[in-house]
Amino acid sequence: MNRPVITGIRAHCPSLSNPPAVIVMVGLPARGKTYIAKKLCRYLNWMGISTKVFNVGEYRRQTVGPSNKHDFFRSDNQEAQGIRLQCALKAMEDMEQWLKGDGEVGVFDATNTTRERREWILQYCTERCFKVFFIESMCSEPDVIQCNIKEVKLSSPDYTGADEDDAIRDFMLRIQHYEENYEPIDEERDKHLSFIKIMNVNSKFLVNKITGHLQSRVVYYLMNIHIMPRTIYLTRHGESELNIIGRIGGNGNLSEGGKRYGEALAEYLKEQNISDFKVWTSRLKRTIQSAAKIDAPIEQWKALDEIDAGVCDSMTYEEIQEKFPEEFALRDQDKFHYRYPMGESYEDLVARLEPVIMELERQRNVLVICHQGVMRCLLAYFMDKKAEELPYLKCPLHTVIKLKPIAYGCLVETVPLDIPAVDTHRPKPEVTEVGRESGDALATVPPYLDEKPISEEETVSADGDSSVFMETPPGSPE
């Protein structure tokens, strides 16, 4: 049999940080610098920009151990000053080596509160052709500072086993030592620098001399994030008629089980008694139908539509293997970058979802009813998953995932709603070479019910695969 050969294209995103870039954090302790550094690192990595945080506090603890009392941070403690400078230099050297390898953006996370220190950093980076951008976080609201100390600093290795009141007193004295020599970035004196000043938890911004796409993107992101308590609910649509027969994508209606899930989802949300709540769906029927019973404002996002499977849309995996075996193998080899002929890759999908992430960062409580590929991308952002992990994250049907962003990560709770549904998760097969046997190609295809014909209106675009994890990324205080 002569099979048509349509070559899938490997998606490619150009580097946004050429030459390598260094982002320098600035500010007193307990001003959220490490929170910003880690969140920004997670965002840039999700967007495909290789980014790493170099936290000088971690280098200090590796050098002299934890439990450094406030006297260690006095400006007249010459021995400690020398140790801290060596730690900063070691972090800078490690960042240099990383950027000379595969790294694109290094985040230098330290207080950097003196003009002398910032000038040293600028000179070091300029001599090595690294582009420098400063982020200064300032806060004068005592309640916010106290909250940051209690929620983050008391869990630092510096205060392991310490009495809470003693730890707070010691840390407040540490802040005083830094305040004695703090020289904020000055709008006039430092006008030659590229920087953003974030004041009182995003209440006010000062942006200066932004150059290039990366810096613009960083500024846009920082101006959208907030730290207010909130919960993001993610779920796939209810089981569809196409899920039952093993067809990927399309624009099918809900199955009977899917309709029951829509009712159960509405009841679950009612029990949660969520204030200031809204629902987002894609523009495909199965997500809209899943939200029909929910008593909340509903917005439809085209950006939330499932990944476009191109010429493979509405096919079963068996049909894809029969008609396009080479494409099926190429996708298994590199599922994140592989682009369906006349369709999308997961890398394309991440780029499409960036506005969704930006808006999620601005919101309070949101339920996103989406699709398997889309949900994988959103979970990968919040859970800091690598590109090679993203296409295989398990996202079962009829399951709600609650995400609660915290200081250095995200708490995840998985809530199955006990409505039976088919399994749509296809793990990566062991054999991925072009020319493999059909049995090897289809070895991990999940079982589904018997085939039935579909109408033309049930074809649009997507992908299919699913499970879940509970994980909290470890925090590492500044």
Q: What is the tens place of the pLDDT at every residue in 348-389?
A: 999 999 999 999 999 989 999 999 999 999 999 999 999 999
| Rounded Cα gap, residues 243 and 270, in angstroms | 27
- Tell me the two tokens of residue 253: 């209606």
Select from 405, 30, 368 the least CA-distant residue to 227.
405
> How far is residue 410's CA from residue 141's CA, in Å, rounded to a whole number?
25
Q: How far apart are CA 136 and CA 235, in angstroms?
A: 37
Dig out the tokens for 229 from the structure: 């308590």
402, with CB counted inside 10 A (0-12, 13-18, 19+), is middle
Q: How far apart are CA 3 and CA 472, in angstroms?
A: 47
Alpha-carbon span 276 to 326, nearest angstrom? 49
Contact 320, 328 (CB under 8 A): yes
- The whole-number average pLDDT for the span 381-398 is 96
| Cα atoms in the 13 Å half-sphere on the side-chain side of 41 | 26
Quick check: 454 pLDDT over 80?
no
Residue 459, token pair as written in the block: 């074809």
pLDDT tens digit sequence for 70-124: 999 999 999 999 999 999 999 999 999 999 999 999 999 999 999 999 999 999 9
Q: Tokens standing for 353?
A: 């979802």
Task: Give catalytic residue positions.
Answer: 109, 139, 237, 306
Task: Decide if 88 contacts 110 (C-beta within 8 A).
Answer: yes
Nearest to 169 by CA among 152, 151, 154: 154
As a whole number, mean pLDDT of residues 192-203 equals 93
- Token duo for residue 475: 């925090």
Residue 343's nearest CA partner among 395, 352, 68 is: 352
Query: Which has the minimum average pLDDT: 312-316, 388-392, 446-450, 466-470?
Result: 466-470
pLDDT of residue 449: 62
Name the one residue in this structure whose structure tokens are 């002569």: 2
Identify the top-confidence range among 198-212, 339-353, 442-456. 339-353
